[in-house]
Amino acid sequence: MFYYKITNIPRYISHKELFKVIKEQIDLSNNRHKLSYKPNSEHAKLICHQEIPTVTELIIKKNICNIVQSEEPFIDKNKKFKNVILQPKSEYDIRNSVTPLWNMPYENQIEHKKTQIEKFYKRKIEYFKTTKFERNNFQFRFGFDHLNIPMLGYLSKIYIHEHNLVFDVQNCNNISPKLIEKINVIKNLISDKPALIYDSQSRTGFFRSLLVRNFNEEYIALLQLYDPNYEFLSFLKNNADYECGEKKSLFLENYKIIKLFPFDNLHIQCFNARFNGFVPSKTFSIRGDNHLHYKILDRTFKVSFFSFFQTNLATAENLCIKLREHQFKNKKLYDFCCGSGFFSIILSNYFRAIIGVEIENSSIEDALVNININEIKNIKIVKDDVTKFQTDISDFSLIPQIELNPIVNKSCDTELLNEKKNTEIINNFLEKTIQNQIDIKEEKNNSQSQSLFSFKDDNIEKCSMILDPPRRGVSKKTIQNIRKNDNINEIIYISCDYKASYGNILDLCKNTSNSYKNEPFRIQKVLAFDMFPNTENSEVVLILIR
């Protein structure tokens, strides 16, 4: 294998364009090769089976790009190269992966991150520090440490060959001391039970991952299990009535261990796919609730296992304060990728009518509950893909309100293993959802409520938009639809990865063309918030107008 690094790549070139230029200027016809390049990055990696002729530069869009051979192979998570030189596992500090700036004074971190963002956008920005360094959402993996002792901790992307290697989180400063105590209890429970640990290669074992969310001193925990034939699940449901032969004593022992996990709100999820991670699916209660209530400013939010929510509550609160201070241009708001309704609910007093658009069922359920909890009447939630949703509907009253059914999403609800509590909670849930349906139907028949979403005055036909997409941003089609709508003249674009979503910003600001209709947006202001302290990442808020 031969490894080459290409630097000084123009920011706007795509992977396809770069690949075409390389093949035009370097003969790769009989040489197996792979190009690793992320759009908007200034460098790329070219991996070849044979050495290429001496080339020191490439001409890309009149830019001179350097190409140099690398002596050491790149660490690639998709391709398992051999002979990668790594630091001994016993000496590796997991903080270098999860919080790479942990050893840098905080004031220096802020200056460093602010400088990077200003360089990227080529303008001055406002950067807001955090007062809290701990996350409220975690995913831990069960595996083995460098001594092959069962461990609950973090994976490291550096050791790509070690599929079951996890590192102790004892020194991680993004985890509260209270949660570290709970992790230590679990470590002690599994330390002499290697057979319990799921092996992703041999597809054996039992404990896979642990998802934890917390607010103040309250926790919810979801234990992910490997149970390919759902035998353990059947055992839990039927207990003594379940005929499982020799496995019954094993299942009983495993259940006793799970019961000792130090969480008042503990659920399990059986997940048998090869993918390592959490996906929304049915959960089963060992004890307690499957959600928390977060308090942000004067609003309360129900957050369940699979809901998207800000990872740093102190920074999220500061972000909300700044949004409320902003002088919005309009009285109508679209909230795309609205999740659990966070920004819609925070800003509900600042708009006459708000339409939230979301595709994920569990998030929609939480959004409807959150609207109900906060007694808000001027928000409608629409289940739709933001790519397909028609933003050219000027009369918000024409947009149907989604109804909260007793079971919004069967694949994401929780089945309780305790029959008495199961009955109690389901009855409470039905009571709330039935009342919510009555409220919605009354609103539909109430002209005063309906008028919240009807606009006859041309002066308030214009709309603002909150766009808080996933890390990668939204599709070009979505941006084209937004550009096409004359009524949208203000966008608050919120990004947790400003480099990955930069393509969206470019498309919003592109000159008018057949693909991008109407007047382009322009960046009015850039704010950045330290949502991820001790890392290179920041939450960036761009205010765009036209």
Q: What confidence score (pLDDT) does residue 320 get? A: 97
By CB neighbour count within 10 A (0-12 exposed, 13-18 middle, 19+ buried), where does 522 fall? Answer: exposed
- Co-location of 186 and 65 in the same domain: no
- Co-location of 245 and 167 in the same domain: yes
State yes or no: pLDDT of 102 exceeds 80.
yes
- Co-location of 65 and 143 in the same domain: no
Structural domain contains residue 90? no
CATH of the domain at 282: 2.40.50
Q: What confidence score (pLDDT) does residue 195 get? A: 93
Q: What confidence score (pLDDT) does residue 72 get? A: 53
- Co-location of 231 and 154 in the same domain: yes
474-510 confidence digits (pLDDT tens): 988 999 999 998 889 999 999 999 998 889 999 999 9
State yes or no: pLDDT of 439 exceeds 60.
no
- Co-location of 51 and 167 in the same domain: no
pLDDT band at 546 (very low <50, low <70, confident <90, very high): very high
Structural domain contains residue 17? yes
The answer to which of 12-21, 105-114, 198-207, 520-529 has the lowest mean pLDDT is 12-21
Q: What confidence score (pLDDT) does residue 242 get? A: 54
Structural domain contains residue 239? yes
Picking from 201, 177, 186, the residue whose alpha carbon sits closest to that of residue 152 is 186
Structural domain contains residue 26? yes
State yes or no: pLDDT of 465 exceeds 70.
yes
Q: What confidence score (pLDDT) does residue 365 get? A: 87
Structural domain contains residue 97? no
Eight-state DSSP code of residue 62: T
Structural domain contains residue 230? yes
Q: What is the mean pLDDT of residues 407-435?
A: 44
- Co-location of 44 and 158 in the same domain: no
- Co-location of 157 and 279 in the same domain: yes
Among 12, 45, 70, the domain-final residue is 70
For residue 163, the enclosing domain spans 137-293
State how far the Cα of 438 lies from the Cα of 451, in Å rounded to an integer. Answer: 19
485 or 402, which is more confident: 485
Structural domain contains residue 362? no
Average pLDDT along the chain: 83
What sections of 4-87 are H helices per DSSP? 15-25
Q: pTM of the entire structure?
A: 0.74
Among 70, 87, 106, the domain-final residue is 70
State how far the Cα of 185 lies from the Cα of 147, in Å rounded to an integer. Answer: 19
Name the domain count of the chain.
2
112-132 confidence digits (pLDDT tens): 999 999 999 999 999 999 999
- Co-location of 258 and 183 in the same domain: yes
Picking from 462, 334, 358, the residue whose alpha carbon sits closest to that of residue 409 is 358
CB contact set of 430 (below 8 Å; sequence gap of 6+)? 406
End-to-end CA distance of the chain: 51
pLDDT band at 110 (very low <50, low <70, confident <90, very high): very high
Among 243, 262, 293, the domain-final residue is 293
User: Cα 227 vs. chain centroid, distance in angstroms?
Assistant: 26
CB contact set of 273 (below 8 Å; sequence gap of 6+)? none
- Co-location of 155 and 283 in the same domain: yes
- Co-location of 151 and 64 in the same domain: no
Structural domain contains residue 120? no
- Co-location of 17 and 163 in the same domain: no
User: Cα 326 vs. chain centroid, distance in angstroms?
Assistant: 26
Q: Is 507 annotated as a binding residue?
A: no
Q: Is 490 annotated as a binding residue?
A: no
Q: Is 468 annotated as a binding residue?
A: yes
Q: What confidence score (pLDDT) does residue 66 get? A: 82
Count the Cβ atoms, other than its own, within 10 Å of residue 500: 18
Question: Any idea which residues carry the catalytic annotation?
Answer: 496
- Co-location of 51 and 169 in the same domain: no
Percent of the chain exceeding pLDDT 90 equals 49
Q: What confidence score (pLDDT) does residue 38 get? A: 81
CATH of the domain at 61: 3.30.70
State yes or no: pLDDT of 449 exceeds 80.
no
pLDDT band at 1 (very low <50, low <70, confident <90, very high): low
